[in-house]
Amino acid sequence: MCCPKECGKECTSKRKSGICPTFTDEPLSFCSVARIASDCGGNDDDCSGPKKCCPDICGSRQCKEPALKDRPECPSFPKNVPCLVYQHDCSHEKECPQGQICCGVTCGIGCAKPVKPNPPKPRQGVCPPVPKDDPNFCNLVDVRYDCDTDSDCTESNKKCCGTPCGGRGCTSPIKGDRTGCPPCSNSQPSTGCPACIQYQQLCNSDKECNRGHLCCFNPSC
Protein backbone atom coordinates (compact mmCIF):
# COMPACT_ATOMS: atom_id res chain seq x y z
CA MET A 1 0.00 0.00 0.00
CA CYS A 2 1.12 3.59 -0.63
CA CYS A 3 1.73 5.60 2.57
CA PRO A 4 2.88 9.18 3.27
CA LYS A 5 6.37 9.72 4.69
CA GLU A 6 8.43 12.75 5.70
CA CYS A 7 9.44 13.70 2.15
CA GLY A 8 6.76 12.16 -0.05
CA LYS A 9 5.26 8.67 -0.21
CA GLU A 10 6.53 5.10 -0.13
CA CYS A 11 5.15 1.57 -0.60
CA THR A 12 4.87 -0.50 2.55
CA SER A 13 3.42 -3.90 3.39
CA LYS A 14 0.08 -4.04 5.19
CA ARG A 15 -0.07 -6.34 8.20
CA LYS A 16 -2.80 -8.95 8.23
CA SER A 17 -4.89 -9.23 11.36
CA GLY A 18 -3.82 -11.65 14.07
CA ILE A 19 -0.79 -12.83 16.04
CA CYS A 20 1.68 -15.49 14.93
CA PRO A 21 1.53 -18.81 16.83
CA THR A 22 4.33 -19.67 19.24
CA PHE A 23 6.82 -22.39 18.36
CA THR A 24 9.59 -24.43 19.98
CA ASP A 25 12.90 -24.06 18.18
CA GLU A 26 15.10 -27.01 17.26
CA PRO A 27 18.75 -27.41 18.37
CA LEU A 28 21.60 -26.24 16.14
CA SER A 29 22.53 -29.85 15.34
CA PHE A 30 19.06 -30.33 13.81
CA CYS A 31 19.04 -27.01 11.94
CA SER A 32 22.46 -27.58 10.36
CA VAL A 33 21.10 -30.72 8.68
CA ALA A 34 17.52 -29.65 7.97
CA ARG A 35 18.30 -26.30 6.30
CA ILE A 36 14.67 -25.24 6.57
CA ALA A 37 13.71 -22.94 3.69
CA SER A 38 11.49 -19.89 4.22
CA ASP A 39 8.05 -19.52 2.62
CA CYS A 40 8.05 -15.72 2.84
CA GLY A 41 10.40 -12.80 3.10
CA GLY A 42 8.92 -11.12 6.16
CA ASN A 43 5.79 -9.53 4.65
CA ASP A 44 2.29 -10.89 5.24
CA ASP A 45 1.53 -10.06 1.60
CA ASP A 46 3.80 -12.98 0.63
CA CYS A 47 1.22 -15.38 2.12
CA SER A 48 -2.16 -16.37 0.71
CA GLY A 49 -5.50 -15.72 2.40
CA PRO A 50 -5.39 -14.86 6.12
CA LYS A 51 -1.97 -16.46 6.66
CA LYS A 52 0.82 -14.33 8.12
CA CYS A 53 4.59 -14.45 7.58
CA CYS A 54 5.81 -15.75 10.95
CA PRO A 55 9.17 -16.71 12.47
CA ASP A 56 9.66 -20.47 12.70
CA ILE A 57 12.26 -23.11 13.55
CA CYS A 58 15.89 -22.68 12.54
CA GLY A 59 15.52 -18.96 11.82
CA SER A 60 13.12 -19.51 8.93
CA ARG A 61 9.89 -17.65 8.16
CA GLN A 62 6.76 -19.59 7.25
CA CYS A 63 3.21 -18.67 6.20
CA LYS A 64 0.95 -19.67 9.10
CA GLU A 65 -2.62 -19.26 10.21
CA PRO A 66 -2.78 -16.69 13.04
CA ALA A 67 -3.21 -18.00 16.58
CA LEU A 68 -6.80 -18.72 17.61
CA LYS A 69 -6.43 -16.78 20.86
CA ASP A 70 -3.95 -14.86 23.00
CA ARG A 71 -1.17 -16.68 24.83
CA PRO A 72 -2.03 -17.54 28.46
CA GLU A 73 0.71 -15.14 29.61
CA CYS A 74 -1.07 -12.14 28.06
CA PRO A 75 -2.69 -9.75 30.58
CA SER A 76 -6.38 -8.99 30.24
CA PHE A 77 -7.42 -5.66 28.73
CA PRO A 78 -10.88 -4.04 28.65
CA LYS A 79 -12.51 -4.79 25.30
CA ASN A 80 -15.74 -2.75 25.46
CA VAL A 81 -13.98 0.59 24.98
CA PRO A 82 -14.79 2.65 21.85
CA CYS A 83 -11.68 2.84 19.65
CA LEU A 84 -10.92 5.56 17.11
CA VAL A 85 -7.89 3.74 15.66
CA TYR A 86 -7.08 0.02 15.46
CA GLN A 87 -3.41 -0.48 16.38
CA HIS A 88 -1.29 -3.36 15.08
CA ASP A 89 2.12 -2.82 16.65
CA CYS A 90 3.37 -6.42 16.50
CA SER A 91 2.74 -9.84 14.99
CA HIS A 92 5.05 -11.84 17.27
CA GLU A 93 7.18 -11.25 20.35
CA LYS A 94 10.37 -10.76 18.33
CA GLU A 95 8.93 -7.36 17.36
CA CYS A 96 8.51 -6.39 21.03
CA PRO A 97 11.02 -4.94 23.52
CA GLN A 98 12.86 -7.53 25.59
CA GLY A 99 10.66 -8.92 28.35
CA GLN A 100 7.38 -8.23 26.52
CA ILE A 101 5.15 -10.40 24.34
CA CYS A 102 2.65 -9.71 21.55
CA CYS A 103 -0.96 -9.70 22.82
CA GLY A 104 -4.44 -8.49 22.02
CA VAL A 105 -4.90 -5.09 23.70
CA THR A 106 -7.87 -2.75 24.11
CA CYS A 107 -7.76 -1.32 20.58
CA GLY A 108 -5.91 -3.93 18.57
CA ILE A 109 -2.61 -5.78 19.01
CA GLY A 110 0.42 -4.53 20.93
CA CYS A 111 3.34 -5.44 23.18
CA ALA A 112 2.67 -6.08 26.86
CA LYS A 113 4.47 -7.41 29.92
CA PRO A 114 3.51 -11.06 30.50
CA VAL A 115 1.69 -12.19 33.62
CA LYS A 116 1.85 -15.54 35.37
CA PRO A 117 -1.11 -17.49 33.98
CA ASN A 118 -3.38 -19.85 35.85
CA PRO A 119 -2.40 -23.24 34.43
CA PRO A 120 -5.30 -24.76 32.45
CA LYS A 121 -6.61 -28.03 33.83
CA PRO A 122 -5.33 -30.90 31.65
CA ARG A 123 -7.65 -33.64 30.45
CA GLN A 124 -7.12 -37.19 31.60
CA GLY A 125 -4.77 -39.39 29.64
CA VAL A 126 -1.21 -39.47 28.31
CA CYS A 127 -0.08 -38.10 24.95
CA PRO A 128 1.40 -40.69 22.59
CA PRO A 129 5.19 -40.48 22.18
CA VAL A 130 6.37 -38.39 19.23
CA PRO A 131 8.76 -40.13 16.80
CA LYS A 132 12.24 -38.65 16.58
CA ASP A 133 12.26 -35.86 14.01
CA ASP A 134 13.85 -36.52 10.64
CA PRO A 135 15.37 -33.21 9.41
CA ASN A 136 14.88 -34.18 5.77
CA PHE A 137 11.18 -34.94 6.39
CA CYS A 138 10.61 -31.75 8.40
CA ASN A 139 12.02 -29.69 5.55
CA LEU A 140 9.19 -30.89 3.28
CA VAL A 141 6.07 -30.81 5.46
CA ASP A 142 3.83 -27.93 6.53
CA VAL A 143 4.08 -28.02 10.34
CA ARG A 144 0.75 -27.24 12.02
CA TYR A 145 0.09 -25.60 15.38
CA ASP A 146 -3.57 -26.36 16.02
CA CYS A 147 -3.62 -25.95 19.81
CA ASP A 148 -1.75 -24.73 22.88
CA THR A 149 -3.66 -26.50 25.68
CA ASP A 150 -6.17 -29.36 25.97
CA SER A 151 -9.04 -26.88 26.20
CA ASP A 152 -8.30 -25.77 22.62
CA CYS A 153 -9.44 -29.19 21.35
CA THR A 154 -13.14 -29.17 20.46
CA GLU A 155 -13.48 -32.95 20.89
CA SER A 156 -13.63 -33.57 24.63
CA ASN A 157 -11.81 -36.92 24.37
CA LYS A 158 -8.66 -35.42 22.80
CA LYS A 159 -5.58 -33.71 24.23
CA CYS A 160 -3.19 -31.12 22.82
CA CYS A 161 -0.03 -33.14 22.13
CA GLY A 162 3.28 -32.68 20.40
CA THR A 163 3.48 -33.74 16.75
CA PRO A 164 6.49 -34.38 14.49
CA CYS A 165 8.75 -31.43 13.61
CA GLY A 166 7.79 -29.38 16.66
CA GLY A 167 4.10 -28.89 15.89
CA ARG A 168 1.08 -29.40 18.16
CA GLY A 169 -2.26 -31.02 17.42
CA CYS A 170 -5.37 -32.52 19.02
CA THR A 171 -4.67 -36.22 19.53
CA SER A 172 -6.39 -39.17 21.19
CA PRO A 173 -4.53 -40.07 24.41
CA ILE A 174 -3.02 -43.50 24.97
CA LYS A 175 -5.41 -46.06 26.40
CA GLY A 176 -4.20 -48.93 28.56
CA ASP A 177 -0.65 -49.90 29.47
CA ARG A 178 2.47 -48.53 27.78
CA THR A 179 5.66 -50.44 27.16
CA GLY A 180 8.04 -49.49 29.95
CA CYS A 181 5.35 -48.48 32.45
CA PRO A 182 4.75 -50.62 35.56
CA PRO A 183 1.60 -52.77 35.42
CA CYS A 184 -1.19 -51.91 37.85
CA SER A 185 -4.57 -53.39 38.71
CA ASN A 186 -7.68 -51.88 40.24
CA SER A 187 -7.63 -54.19 43.24
CA GLN A 188 -3.94 -54.52 44.06
CA PRO A 189 -1.52 -51.83 42.80
CA SER A 190 1.86 -53.43 42.19
CA THR A 191 5.22 -52.00 43.19
CA GLY A 192 5.76 -48.70 41.44
CA CYS A 193 2.06 -47.83 41.22
CA PRO A 194 0.95 -45.61 44.10
CA ALA A 195 -2.35 -46.23 45.82
CA CYS A 196 -4.80 -43.48 44.87
CA ILE A 197 -6.50 -41.07 47.22
CA GLN A 198 -7.59 -38.77 44.41
CA TYR A 199 -6.95 -38.53 40.68
CA GLN A 200 -3.78 -36.60 39.80
CA GLN A 201 -2.59 -35.41 36.39
CA LEU A 202 1.10 -34.70 36.97
CA CYS A 203 2.20 -35.06 33.35
CA ASN A 204 0.78 -35.11 29.84
CA SER A 205 3.74 -36.46 27.88
CA ASP A 206 7.21 -37.92 28.41
CA LYS A 207 8.76 -34.49 27.77
CA GLU A 208 7.30 -33.27 31.08
CA CYS A 209 9.10 -36.01 33.05
CA ASN A 210 12.65 -36.21 34.37
CA ARG A 211 15.17 -37.84 32.07
CA GLY A 212 14.75 -41.61 32.07
CA HIS A 213 11.11 -41.45 33.24
CA LEU A 214 7.88 -42.04 31.31
CA CYS A 215 4.46 -40.47 31.73
CA CYS A 216 2.35 -43.45 32.85
CA PHE A 217 -1.34 -43.94 33.59
CA ASN A 218 -2.26 -45.69 36.83
CA PRO A 219 -5.52 -47.60 36.20
CA SER A 220 -6.00 -48.10 39.95
CA CYS A 221 -7.00 -44.42 40.08
For residue 199, what pLDDT is reported? 56
Element (H or E) spanning 28, and its range? helix 28-34
- For residues 188 and 172, give the distance between their C-alpha atoms in angstroms, rounded to a whole number: 28
Segments making up each domain of the chain, as ranges: 174-221
Cα separation, 124 vs 197, whole angstroms: 16
- Residues 6 or more apart from 76 whose CB is under 8 A from it? none
pLDDT in tens, 116-153: 877 677 888 888 887 776 767 777 767 778 888 888 88
DSSP class per residue in 47-90: SSTT-EEEE-GGG-EEEEPPPSS--TTSPP----S--SS-EE--
Q: Is residue 196 packed enough to be buried (19+ CB in 10 Å), middle (13-18) or exposed (0-12)?
A: middle
Give the whole-number percent of the chain exceeding pLDDT 90.
7
pTM: 0.48
Q: Report the chain's terminal Cα–Cα distance, integer Å.
A: 60
Report residue 88's pLDDT band, with 50, 70 and 90 as the boundaries: confident
What confidence tier does 182 reach under pLDDT thresholds 50, 70, 90? low
Q: What is the rounded distance in angstroms from the CA atom of residue 174 to the CA atom of residue 123?
A: 12
- Using an 8 Å Cβ cutoff, are 221 and 194 in contact? no
Summarised one tens digit per residue, pLDDT across range 22-59 is 877 788 888 888 778 888 988 899 999 989 998 888 88
Residue 200 has pLDDT above 90, yes or no: no
